[in-house]
Homo-oligomer: A and B are copies of this chain.
């Protein structure tokens, strides 16, 4: 009897806690809708009002998360007898609660104000190709984020703390080892490709109008099985995906010279949306109905973009649709598009324009520089030279300006240190997952060729999506693949793919 009463009481307490968690999540989802609207729909002058709306919601969310009520629920529930799903929910909220309560509001405020100032400085520095305009603000942001990390965990490497804002469970060691392995394996591969005489096909010449490209983007989403009752496609200057399991939207952009770019970007965002749509409806608004952070999210986008969208099998299926929209492609073969989609751009300095292979060197460079900045081993003023040296060493090219060097990306002006490596971790995980899917699904390549993605969707939903945040990242990888997280599959995949493409 006593146990039953205790169970009832815990059950009630848990329900109350969950309804506070759901309110917190719903406030966060509202912010996502406002952000989507700002990027996709909002008229120009709306910015001033929108930033106030977003910061009001952010303050409301912060208060819900750090409230004494929330602290009480967490303490009580940690002492109670919970089932594993409930334990996971408590674990995840505890983690967010701790990170939010430990940092003083004044510091959060100062970081927010400094990043607001940083953005125009970065923009000007990039436009005028003058790093010194941005340097003082960057220095301030480095100091503030170190302070931030110190508050969260004074006993930990501050860069590890920052990294865990984006990937909480794999650990900085894993990131470090993974990026070191990529550097060791990919640098010689890129050198070999650079020395190869092979010329890959370039089937996309001339102009491809935006309107038809948009129809084609809709075709590709149809082909992959996007659920239009729970999503939509729009254009945005920086493509992204956002939403919930009931409404996961995709954005893309068009360049008249590069129809393939819009398609791979659309497929990438489809991968993110597909993860979101695979989260269980019944856990909406709780960690069990939310995606497992950036590494796993990026694994889903990269899996669809690279392993499906850049495969020859996929183009055997999809090229006819593309020819229907763009008759000028009538002579192109699936092999041509496959080659075009996998051409290593040897002279490219810009991360967002990089191919699947050199991309990771952009990440490695930034990761190494960020680590040294945060540890204090590198001064802000020395960033441009360190950046350029590393590009020369890893990619064999040296930026001639800082605008196309260390100023190319916006992220530092947001104070986002520790974020980029999740892009590489995601790619690596995509290869590991796709290999496991190939083991489990009978002739997956043939299914891609037939445009039959049902089993792949089912596999990903079963192994990854439906679990939400129930497992930590490392456990989720083990549950899904039977192995620890490893970069070996990715290395094998690129060595075999690029070896064949470039006759190495």
Contacts and interface: CB of A to CB of B under 8 A. Distances in A.
B229 A44 contact: yes
Contacts of A30: 30, 34, 53, 56-57
Given A23-B60, A26-B53, A33-B53, A45 B230 contact: yes
Task: Assign chain A's interface to a size class.
Answer: 35 or more
Interface stretch (A35-43, A82-90, A443-451, A460-468): A35-43
A82 B187 CA distance: 71
Interface in A195-218: none
Contacts of A29: 49, 53
Interface string A5-28: 000000000000000001100110
Contact of A45 (B23, B26, B60, B246): B246
A50 to B, nearest CB: 7
Identify whether the interface residues of A are mostly helix, strand, loop, or mixed.
helix
A49 B284 contact: yes
A247 interface: yes
Interface string A234-269: 000000000011110100000000000000000000
Contact of A26 (B26, B33, B52, B227): B52
B49 A244 contact: yes
Interface string A33-73: 11001000111111111101101110110000000000000
Interface in A282-313: 284-285
A53 B243 CA distance: 12
A50 B247 contact: yes
A231 interface: yes
Nearest to A49: B246
The winner among A229, A231, A247, A281 for most chain B CB atoms within 10 A is A247
Given A33-B37, A53-B30, A46 B247 contact: yes
Nearest to A42: B247
A232 interface: yes
Nearest to A59: B23
A470 to B, nearest CB: 20
A285 B55 CA distance: 13
B229 A43 contact: yes
B43 A228 contact: yes
The winner among A45, A50, A227 for most chain B CB atoms within 10 A is A45
Interface in A104-120: none
Given A48-B246, A284-B52, A230 B43 contact: yes
Contacts of A41: 41, 232
Interface of A: 22-23, 26-27, 29-30, 33-34, 37, 41-50, 52-53, 55-57, 59-60, 227-232, 244-247, 249, 281, 284-285
10 contacts: A26-B52, A27-B57, A27-B60, A29-B49, A42-B247, A43-B231, A45-B246, A45-B247, A48-B246, A49-B246
Given A43-B231, A44-B229, 9 more contacts: A23-B59, A26-B53, A27-B53, A27-B60, A33-B34, A41-B41, A45-B229, A49-B246, A50-B246
